[in-house]
Structure 1
Amino acid sequence: RVSGALLFIFLPFLLFLFDQSLTSELSFEVFRGFLSNIIVKLVVLVLGWAFLFHFCAGVRHLFMDFNHDLAAKEKAKSTSLVVVVLSTVLTIAFAAKLFGAF
């Protein structure tokens, strides 16, 4: 619920960033300068985590809709752990890209 709330609250900010990156070449350079700020990078990283976690949890729920055995207590615990681990790994990869590791 936290990841969905973060995405909803910061939707105007995300749309602003998207608009700035596509308007023109000059606005893209302004966008790159804005994104070079460490605070903005951290906000984008948190929003990236929220999106990745929300996406992985959504895929989990889709699988649970197709296979009702996954909704059993033990399977639900294990699939929730998979969601946390997978979203963490994806967030680390996103952070490495965001902060220039590759």
Structure 2
Amino acid sequence: MTELAKKKRPEFRNIHALQDLPSYRLPPAGIVSILHRISGVIMFLLLPFILWMFDASLSSEFSFAKFKAVFNEGCGFVPGWFIKLIALAIIWAYLHHLIAGLRHLFMDMNHAAVTKEFGHSSALTVLALSIGLTVVLGAKLFGLY
């Protein structure tokens, strides 16, 4: 009998979510995959807001001035910084979804890239690029430069 067959693998029948899941570390590729789905849901749910922003910014000079006023001063009981925060969430969702989607397409086209090492390094690259670009565009959105 081989040594592998002799080793008894742990058997998990009843996984307690509050005790077992916090100790589980998801690899970066898993995190990117889950965030890819979350970013798609965010973009879908905020599609009416995206369409309003697009329409308000292109309709006329008056609607663009109103659009800028909503971002600077707010709208009704919603402050302007909160609307900017929603726009920042859309920016992150778009950037992450785009970069992670390109990663998935590259891995689909190049089967030699489907390795544990490439998955780990490309997932970290996706996270770094999407967060870095979001910080840069968020600084612009909030008027830091």
Could you say which TM-score interval applies, normalised by the shorter chain?
over 0.9
The equivalent position to 1:73 in structure 2, one of 116, 122, 144, is 116
More helix by percentage: 1
Could you list the per-position Cα deviations for residues 53-95 of structure 1 after superposition, in whole angstroms to 9, with x for gaps in the alignment? Answer: 0011011112112211222222111111100001011001111
The answer to whether residue 49 in structure 2 is matched with residue 13 in structure 1 is yes
Question: Where does structure 1 differ by over 3 angstroms across 4 or more consecutive aligned residues?
Answer: none
2:71 maps to a residue whose letter is: L
Q: Please, what is the CA RMSD of the aligned residues?
A: 0.9
Q: TM-score if structure 2 supplies the norm length?
A: 0.68
The answer to whether residue 75 in structure 2 is matched with residue 39 in structure 1 is no
Provide the C-alpha distance between the structure 1 equivalents of 2:62 and 2:115, rounded to a whole number of angstroms.
Answer: 53
Q: TM-score if structure 1 supplies the norm length?
A: 0.95
Aligned length: 102
Q: What is the percent sequence identity of the aligned residues?
A: 47
The equivalent position to 1:57 in structure 2, one of 97, 100, 103, is 100
